[in-house]
């Protein structure tokens, strides 16, 4: 069956293409940043990926609101996610390491630095393929509230937010952070990035249930509570955006894992 032009040009598909453009743009910025030794380009690349996260979160809602959800859009979304959240975060982490590792006298096995992004990307593609197969018969008009395994945008959130925190920690105003602490935190973030990529990859192909972040934020019988969530997030983002994104990414990844070990969860 051939897709009509109206399906191809549906609003959510254009948003998904924007998601893909942000991912490709971030990769290009990383390449240019390393070649030119321009750290600011890596910082901008991380923010492009944050924009991609937002676009990925709203394209499905646009499809359901406009009644234009289609198999073409679902496949396009997965292919865009494979690039933006499967490839670009690994390139960002790899670029961060090669630009700043010497500054902290860090040393890791060079093969690990290559293997970590590859493992991450492979797991992201496997996770997306499994999702497509498991949900092939689903009603596209209904929103997925929970996922089996960490969704690729959620997995990408950790390396992206770590890169942003690396740049933004020196600008945090809530605390007077001594320069030596800033230096140590940056060194730790940099050293941890390859290991975080592998961990996020394993979580993507795991069977641990994770909530749909945007569904959790918007699905509520209490509109006031939903509005309060957005006000809190928006206010925190305005004050300390890099720290906020890291905190949210960390909690989104860690809390579902912890709940798996709670007695109430095991007795279900």
CA distance 147 to 268: 18
- Pick out the chain residues at pLDDT < 50: 1, 267-268
Residue 148's pLDDT is what? 86
3-class secondary-structure state, position 167: helix
Residue 1's pLDDT is what? 46
Tens of pLDDT, residue by residue over 34-81, are: 999 999 999 999 999 999 999 998 887 787 777 777 778 788 999 999
Q: What is the DSSP string of 181-248?
A: HHHHHHHHHHHHHHHHHHHHHHHHTS--EEE-HHHHHH--S-HHHHHHHHHHHHHHHHH-HHHHHHHH
Residue 118's pLDDT is what? 97
**Residues 6 or more apart in contact with residue 101 via CB below 8 angstroms:** 107, 108, 190
Tens of pLDDT, residue by residue over 47-56, are: 999 999 999 9
CA distance 7 to 97: 42
């Amino acid at each position: 069956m051939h897709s009509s032009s109206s399906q191809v040009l549906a609003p959510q598909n254009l948003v998904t293409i924007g998601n893909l453009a942000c991912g490709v743009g971030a990769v290009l910025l990383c390449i240019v940043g390393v070649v030119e030794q321009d750290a600011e380009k890596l910082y901008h690349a991380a923010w492009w990926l944050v924009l991609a996260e937002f676009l990925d979160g709203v394209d499905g809602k646009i499809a359901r609101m406009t009644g234009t959800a289609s198999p073409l859009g679902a496949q396009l979304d997965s292919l865009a996610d494979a690039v933006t959240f499967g490839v670009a975060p690994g390139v960002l982490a790899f670029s961060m390491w090669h630009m700043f590792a010497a500054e902290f006298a860090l040393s890791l096995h060079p093969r690990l630095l290559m293997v970590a992004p590859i493992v991450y990307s492979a797991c992201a593609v496997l996770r997306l393929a499994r999702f497509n197969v498991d949900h092939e018969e689903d009603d596209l008009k209904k929103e997925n509230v929970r996922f089996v395994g960490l969704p690729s945008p959620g997995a990408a959130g950790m390396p992206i937010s770590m890169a942003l925190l690396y740049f933004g920690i020196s600008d945090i105003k809530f605390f007077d952070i001594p320069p030596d602490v800033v230096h140590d935190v940056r060194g730790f973030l940099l050293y941890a990035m390859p290991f975080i990529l592998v961990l996020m990859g394993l979580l993507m192909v795991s069977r641990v249930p994770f909530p749909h972040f945007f569904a959790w934020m918007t699905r509520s019988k209490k509109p006031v509570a939903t509005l309060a969530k957005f006000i809190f997030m928006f206010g925190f983002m305005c004050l300390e955006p890099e720290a906020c994104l890291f905190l949210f990414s960390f909690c989104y990844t860690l809390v579902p894992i912890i709940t798996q070990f709670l007695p109430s969860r095991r007795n279900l």
